């Protein structure tokens, strides 16, 4: 009996990723993979490229795209669809699921002459609610992890073919991706991998189902040498083709000739590591400890289906910044959908699709929430869409709503060029300050969070101390890599949000306490905080190209000092393109430097990546301090510190005058 090898690879780069990163991925993985596979037309396989990445590759590597088209025409390749810009389909509205899937299917048909019947699910996030959109757009089957099926109570020995599910009366077939295959390919020697497939054939298995990241073939550590220089891929392909027990098939051909194994209903889940990453730090640590205990006791494989963790949507409740971005995206989607069809444009739809790219909404060992350039790409597209919407259907200039659904309303101020959202949480700070002209959100920062993996910093330092004391060396499992020097204090979590205009007050000798008791005052944009013998009124006002925040301090027991903090996201971060410029034109430093100035009234933040500048003007002289705000995160490359924003504080004494006005003026580069 022969076994069908259903072999698929998935290629994706985040919207907004650096061109050099994409070029490197193509040179080391995508292009190399295609050139090897081109030599073996009998080896049939499936591919999924996200639509945004396809557009980039057609522009930058047309010869390899022509190679991909030729392999498609000769029937070697089957195309899988999905959302065009790689959204998590479960996290966007049904109407956008349909347009995302249809856009990529149209793109594949136009460029390769075929329309996909199968689809890849981003991060293998499964919710049954996605079924209707998939079926409506012509998708007949998807591939998800066999873990999903185990969590539904299915027998692992039976996961060698497709099953059928339904939602709202619409049927979709589901292929279980073999975890055993994913762990072997391409990591075990090619001959052993082929022998393993042959053994499955002898046991009577119908198919071995593999679908995984193509980046494992060349980009993951040591894989370029292993897969291409040492010839793993060539050896594997030739071994499979030489075997009388293995045949390669596309999912489409297998699906056409086989019958379903029966009905199945999968729970909401993703791969098991993702289910850990979605949990808050204390819960993630407890969950990880439970898994490790089960492994140590030899019970993990038996109990794995019942060790579920969280779900992907938990990232919205874990990280308010991700939730704000997500709910703003949903609001823009609703505004676009409400437009008459004649007033919508393809560019509007494209901006929405790009703003729905999954990468910037979540964080784990992968995921891009901690990466400012990926969040910025979402905001660039979201604000470009809103600028286009404002031209035909302006949003209200003043609106109170609980957009992020946290029980605390926000006040939205808009004027066609600028948008400011004040959160009614006691701080009365801006959660967002956006320029539609520059398509940039100056409030797009990330506070410091406690992450479960931060414990490894202390563990690494303890291991280093023990090694110096002659107590031995750390095992490979305990070794931690650092891209930057990181002390435990660097990972200390913030105690309050990173907003724009959040105050502290008191005396320098006794310390300053947070002003966190603001309540909405009389008049639009007014907020009042008060105490025994004092009262501070903060008022926001939008003008054509500026935001002015006025402070009025009143009472017999005024604090000696009031300080306001502005956390401002700027694209250059601590790179060469960002710098401070004083009123006389001198440059005291870049955004990555700490800076202190007394008696300051005007300063400009110039950013070449932004293509504009932010001018800060104070009505009375203030003490000025600036420092970079950095977070500590871990990726597959190791721990790193990433600059998220410039943290600026302006402090003044109410005794010098009861009124202070601070203006942020946004200007595009001339």
**Domains of the chain by range and CATH?**
3-270 (3.20.110.20), 452-489 (no CATH), 493-668 (2.70.98.10)
Span 594-615, pLDDT tens digits: 999 999 999 999 999 999 999 9
Task: Taking residues 563-590, report their average pLDDT.
Answer: 95
C-alpha–C-alpha distance, residues 632 and 485, integer Å = 11
Q: How far apart are CA 217 and CA 214, in angstroms?
A: 5
What pLDDT sits at residue 66?
A: 97
- C-alpha 579/C-alpha 592 separation (Å) is 9
The two structure tokens encoding residue 64? 């390899």
d(C-alpha 595, C-alpha 650), whole Å: 12
Percent of the residues in the chain that have a pLDDT greater than 70, as a whole number: 96
- The question of whether 292 is a catalytic residue gets the answer no
Cα–Cα distance measured from residue 459 to residue 478, given in angstroms and rounded to the nearest whole number: 8
pLDDT per position as a tens digit, 513-572: 999 999 998 888 999 999 999 999 999 999 999 999 999 999 989 999 999 999 999 999
Q: pLDDT tens across 608-649, in order?
A: 999 999 999 999 999 999 999 999 988 766 788 999 999 999
Q: What average pLDDT does range 297-314 have in this prediction?
A: 92
Could you give the CA distance from residue 435 to residue 419 in angstroms, rounded to a whole number? 7
* 264 vs 163: CA distance, rounded Å: 6
Among 78, 86, 96, 123, the one annotated catalytic: 123
Give helix 232-242 / helix 31-38 axis angle, nearest 10°. Answer: 30
Q: Which residue has the tokens 């901006």?
A: 351
**What whole-number distance in Å separates Cα of residue 192 and Cα of residue 170?**
41
Whole-number pLDDT of residue 508: 85
Q: Count of alpha carbons within 13 Å of 583, Cβ hemisphere only?
A: 8
More confident residue, 154 or 475: 154
DSSP 394: P
What residues are paired with 77 via a beta bridge? Answer: 45
Q: What is the SS3 string spanning 78-125?
A: EEEECCCCCCCHHHCCHHHHHHHHHHHHHHHHHHHCCCCCEEECHHHC
**Shortest CA distance to 145 belongs to which of 173, 123, 178, 120?**
178
Instruction: Supply the pLDDT for residue 469.
Output: 46
Partnered with residue 524 across adjacent β-strands are: none
For residues 561-600, one letter each, b for 16 or more C-beta atoms within 10 angstroms of the residue's C-beta and e for the rest, the string is: bbbbbbbbbbbbbbeeebbbbeeeeeeeebbbeebeeeeb
Burial 400-435 (b: 16+ CB within 10 A, else e): eeebbeeeebbbbbbbebbbbbbbbbbbbbbbbbbb
pTM beyond 0.75, yes or no:
yes
Residue 304 CA to residue 150 CA, distance in Å, equals 8
- In tens, the pLDDT along 336-349 reads 999 999 999 999 99
Mean pLDDT of 448-474: 62
For the CA atoms of 385, 390, 396, 400, the dihedral, rounded to the nearest 10 degrees, stands at 10
Q: Is the dihedral of CA 476, 480, 482, 486 positive or negative?
A: negative
Confidence of residue 164 (pLDDT cuts 50, 70, 90): very high
Q: Note if the bond before 186 is cis, omega within 30 degrees.
A: yes
User: Rounded to an integer, what distance in angstroms lies between the CA atom of residue 186 and that of residue 227?
Assistant: 7
- 213, 350, 406, 640: the catalytic one is 213
Q: How far apart are CA 112 and CA 110, in angstroms?
A: 6
pLDDT band (50, 70, 90) for residue 480:
low
> How far apart (Å, rounded) are the C-alpha atoms in residues 492 and 451?
10
- Provide the H-helix boundaries in 174-217: 179-184, 190-202
Q: What is the pLDDT of residues 188-239, one digit of tens each?
A: 999 999 999 999 999 999 999 999 999 999 998 889 999 999 999 999 999 9
Alpha helices in 371-448 (DSSP H): 372-392
Over residues 454-471, mean pLDDT: 58
Closest CA to 143 of 178, 98, 188: 178
When pLDDT is cut at 50, 70 and 90, the band that residue 408 belongs to is very high
Read off the pLDDT band of 462 (50, 70, 90). low
Catalytic residue check, 155: no
């Amino acid at each position: 009996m022969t076994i069908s090898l259903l072999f698929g690879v998935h290629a994706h780069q985040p919207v907004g990723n650096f061109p050099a990163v994409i070029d490197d991925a193509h040179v080391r993985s995508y292009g190399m993979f295609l050139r090897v596979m081109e030599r073996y037309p009998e080896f049939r396989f499936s591919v999924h490229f996200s639509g945004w990445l396809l557009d980039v590759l057609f522009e930058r590597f047309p010869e390899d795209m022509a190679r991909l088209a030729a392999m498609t025409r000769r029937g070697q390749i089957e195309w899988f669809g999905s959302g065009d810009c790689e959204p998590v389909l479960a996290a966007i509205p049904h109407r956008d699921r349909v347009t995302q899937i249809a856009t990529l299917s149209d793109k594949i048909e136009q460029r390769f002459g075929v329309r996909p019947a199968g689809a890849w699910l981003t991060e293998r996030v499964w919710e049954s609610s996605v079924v209707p959109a998939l079926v409506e757009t012509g998708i007949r089957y998807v591939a998800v992890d066999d873990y999903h099926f185990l969590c539904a109570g299915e027998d692992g020995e039976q996961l060698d073919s497709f099953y059928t599910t339904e939602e709202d009366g619409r049927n979709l077939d589901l292929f279980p991706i073999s975890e055993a295959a994913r762990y072997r390919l391409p990591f075990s020697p090619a001959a052993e991998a082929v022998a393993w497939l042959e053994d499955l054939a002898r046991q009577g298995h119908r198919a071995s189902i593999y679908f995984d990241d193509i980046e494992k073939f060349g980009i993951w550590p040591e894989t370029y040498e292993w897969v291409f220089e040492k010839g793993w891929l060539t050896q594997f392909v030739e071994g499979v083709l030489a075997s009388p027990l293995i045949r390669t098939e596309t999912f489409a051909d297998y699906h056409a000739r086989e019958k379903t194994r029966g009905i199945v209903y999968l729970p909401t889940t993703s791969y098991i590591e993702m289910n850990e990453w979605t949990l808050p730090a204390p819960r993630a640590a407890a969950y990880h400890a439970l898994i490790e205990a089960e492994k140590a006791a030899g019970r993990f494989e038996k109990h794995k289906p019942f060790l579920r963790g969280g779900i992907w949507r938990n990232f919205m409740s874990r990280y308010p910044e991700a939730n704000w971005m997500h709910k703003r995206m949903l609001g823009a989607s609703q505004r676009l959908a409400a437009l008459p069809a004649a007033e919508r444009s393809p560019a509007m739809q494209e901006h929405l699709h790009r703003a729905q790219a999954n990468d910037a909404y979540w964080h784990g060992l992968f995921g891009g929430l901690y990466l400012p350039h990926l969040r910025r790409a979402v905001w660039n597209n979201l604000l470009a869409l809103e600028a286009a919407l404002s031209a035909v259907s302006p949003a209200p200039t003043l609106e109170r709503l609980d957009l992020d659904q946290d029980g605390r309303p926000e006040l939205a101020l808009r004027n066609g060029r600028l948008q400011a959202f004040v959160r009614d949480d006691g701080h009365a700070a801006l959660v967002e300050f956006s320029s539609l002209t520059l398509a940039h959100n100056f409030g797009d920062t990330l506070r410091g969070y406690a992450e479960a993996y931060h414990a490894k910093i202390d563990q690494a330092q303890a291991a280093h101390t023990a090694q110096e004391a002659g107590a031995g060396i750390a095992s490979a499992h305990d070794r931690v890599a650092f891209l930057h020097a990181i002390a435990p204090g660097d990972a200390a979590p913030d105690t309050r949000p990173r907003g724009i205009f959040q105050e502290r007050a008191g005396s320098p000798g006794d310390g300053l306490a947070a002003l966190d008791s603001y309540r909405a005052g009389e008049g639009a944009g007014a907020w009042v905080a008060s105490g025994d013998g004092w009262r501070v009124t903060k008022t926001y006002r939008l003008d054509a190209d500026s935001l002015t925040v006025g402070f009025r301090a009143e009472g017999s027991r005024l604090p000696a000092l009031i300080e306001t903090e502005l956390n401002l996201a700027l694209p250059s971060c601590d790179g060469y393109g960002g710098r401070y410029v004083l009123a006389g034109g001198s440059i005291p430093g870049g955004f990555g430097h700490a800076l202190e100035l007394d008696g300051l009234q005007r300063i400009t933040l110039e950013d070449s990546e932004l293509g504009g500048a932010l001018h800060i003007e104070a009505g009375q002289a203030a003490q000025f301090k600036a420092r970079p705000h950095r977070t500590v995160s871990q990726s597959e490359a190791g721990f790193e510190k990433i600059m998220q924003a410039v943290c600026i504080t302006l402090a003044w004494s109410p005794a010098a005058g009861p009124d202070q006005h601070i203006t942020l003026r946004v200007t595009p580069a001339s």
